[in-house]
Structure 1
Amino acid sequence: MAPPQLVANWERLKAEVVNPKVDQKTIGQLLLQLKIALTEARLLIPSPNSTLEDLVITRDVLELGAFWSVRNKDIPAFDRYFSQLQTFYTDFRNQLPPSPREYPLIGLNLIRLLTQNRIGDFHTTIETLPPSILGDNPFIQHPVHLERWLMEGSYNKVWQEREAAPSEEYKFFVDSLMKTIRQEIASCEEKAYDSLPLSDAMSLLFFTKQSDLVTFAQERGWNVNPSTQIIHFARKTEEKIEIPKEKIIVNSLAYAKELEQIV
């Protein structure tokens, strides 16, 4: 059984996460206290002897911790929380009541896999989900659409999907995905153009503020002319590869002579 103080802190955590005025540090401290208490009570890693109440409390704490990690942009912490939740979502699925946070968190993890270009892990996770969930659940459909459009190169649809995100936490991962996409588009622009108007560059790179574009341009070493409103791309000097023509001809003639002798 969970100690009374652990249960009290769990109730307090649930109240604080829905409090719009709460300091995120307060939630972080509560989560730390709860994880220590769960470890001491040997509940953080569930066993077949764990009571239903213990399993629900532990799963609840880990789920709230995963959401808190995303809100604080702490991806390693999110990875740890989600990894610990896998036991509850798989081994104890039949013993626990369904959690309304399960598929939102699975969806967040799917987008995280996309941001890390772990497409194989993405599809492996998709294959473990019930077919009905793939077709009806908005938290799963969102990353599935993102992956499809990424493969198609439809980056404008990826950007538009950000506004259709089923929760605010999803937008953080989509923004991370857009950063990777911008770098790829920028590399293509540098090779395809000598310069571009700022307005065109903003549209191509999906920026809504010119100041953000200017900062991005400076990071890549582009020259921004504020008077003409044009970006000049910094071209890298192409390396010239000399082909040893004479050596190739001599070797080819030698091979030809050897073939004649063989024949």
Structure 2
Amino acid sequence: MAHNQLKSLYTDLKRSFDANSPKCTPALAQLKIGLIENGLLTPQGEHNVDDLVVARDILEIGAIWSIRARDVPSFDRYFSQLQTFYTDYSSVLPPSKNEYPIRGLNLIRLLTQNRIADFHTTLESLPIPADAIAENPYISHPVNLEQWLMEGSYSKVWNARERAPVEEYKFFVDSLMGTIRNEIASCEEAAYESLPLKDALTLLFFSNQSELLKFAQERGWRVDLSGQTITFTKKGEEQAEIPKQKLISSSLAYARELERIV
């Protein structure tokens, strides 16, 4: 693919991306082929700076579009390809306005996958001083989420959704809330026989009753709409059968053996 064609497709991609158009998906597929043909997907050695900027911008659009499309594996691939631009060519290329939003998305992704050790390793490797993290909204947001998760401050995690620095962060926060709801639900099942619907709605951070009813059905809970209560389904305690006759026979045999020894 010629450079002129690559830049023309890139212009079309930006237009589609700004319009949030599904045309981004086929455009990205074409452009990645073009980047491969021009040695820009995983560049090595010296390249024209303008070409590198275009390649980086295409991959950043791909990473963000992957989240809009709910395609986390695709985001992983784009983020991996961007590392060459963020590390090897960081001294050559001008700063990108999308770099830290994408780095922040990667940190939240690690949280949703419960990869806490990877989260801290990635955080420590960022090209940003530790005392400057609080001033960077794209990095401080996942850092705060991790702290609140460790504290069990789930209400803070829920409220942080509306304070996300970019819209794409909400996708991962929603994923976190799904995990949190299941943990809370397990605690409720162990602690209560039933709860009023309005209390369960609040405890599980649902915004409307229909969402709660769907969740209750998935968990196998009994819902009484007239009484406005939820009754939790508990597994019956397994009662192990004690082999009494066998134990008595074994004890008697052991006693007889002792008598013989004496």
Q: What is the TM-score of this pair, normalised by structure 2? A: 0.89
Q: What are the superposed Cα offsets for residues 147-184 of structure 1, whole Å, 9 maximum, x if unpaired?
A: 00000000011001111111110111100000000000
* Residue in 2 that maps onto 1:8: 8
Q: How does 1:1-263 map to 2 (within 5 A)?
A: 3-19=3-19, 22-23=20-21, 25-129=22-126, 130=128, 131-241=130-240
Measure, in 1, the Cα distance between the counterparts of 2:11 and 2:207: 41
- Please give the alpha-carbon distance, in whole angstroms, between the structure 2 residues aligned to 1:237 and 1:91: 59
User: Is the contact between residue 133 and residue 140 of structure 1 (CA under 8 Å) also seen in structure 2?
Assistant: no
What do the CA deviations read for 1:186-229 (whole angstroms, capped 9, x no partner)? 01111111101000000000001100000000001001111101
Q: Aligned partners of 1:133 and 1:84: how far apart in 2? A: 26
Q: Give the gaps of 5 or more residues in structure 2.
A: none
Whole-angstrom distance in 1 between the partners of 2:142 and 2:239: 43
Give the Cα–Cα distance (whole angstroms) in 1 for the partners of residues 2 and 215 of structure 2. 51
**SS at the partner of 1:120?**
helix
Which is further off, 43-52 or 235-244? 235-244
Aligned to 1:261: none
The AA in structure 2 aligned to 1:164 is: R
Farther off after superposition, 234-243 or 62-71: 234-243
For residues 221 and 244 of structure 1, the distance between their equivalents in structure 2, rounded to whole angstroms, comes to 34
Q: Distance in 2 between matches of 1:142 and 1:179?
A: 19
The runs of at least 4 aligned residues of structure 1 exceeding 6 Å deviation read 242-247
Structure 1 unaligned regions, length at least 5: 258-263
Question: 2:178 & 2:193 partners in 1: Cα distance?
Answer: 22
Query: Does the 8 A contact of 1:107 with 1:143 survive in 2?
Result: yes
Q: Which amino acid aligns with 1:193?
A: Y
Cα 1:243–1:104, aligned 2, differ >3 Å: closer, same or farther? farther
C-alpha distance in structure 1 between counterparts of 2:163 and 2:227, whole Å: 36
Q: How far did 1:49 drift?
A: 2.3
Determine helix, strand or coil for the equivalent of 1:168.
coil
Q: Hey, what's the Cα distance between the residues in 1 that align with 2:119 and 2:160?
A: 18
| Matched pairs, number | 249
CA change 1:196–1:37 in 2 (3 A) is same
Distance 1:89 1:241 in 2: 60
Which amino acid counterpart does residue 185 of structure 1 have in structure 2?
I
In structure 2, the partner of 1:260 is none
How far off its partner does 1:50 sit? 1.9
207-216 or 80-89: bigger deviation: 80-89
| Stretch moving more, 6-15 or 166-175 | 6-15
Secondary structure of residue in 1 paired with 2:59: helix
* Structure 1 pair 156–243 and aligned structure 2 pair: CA distance change class (3 A): farther
CA RMSD between the two structures: 2.1
User: Residue 220 of structure 2 aligns to which amino acid in structure 1?
Assistant: G
Cα separation, partners in 2 of 1:213 and 1:200, compared to 1, 3 Å: same
Tell me the distance in 2 between the aligned counterparts of 1:91 and 1:54: 15
TM-score by length of 1: 0.89
Q: Is residue 70–residue 172 contact of structure 1 (8 Å, CA) maintained in 2?
A: yes
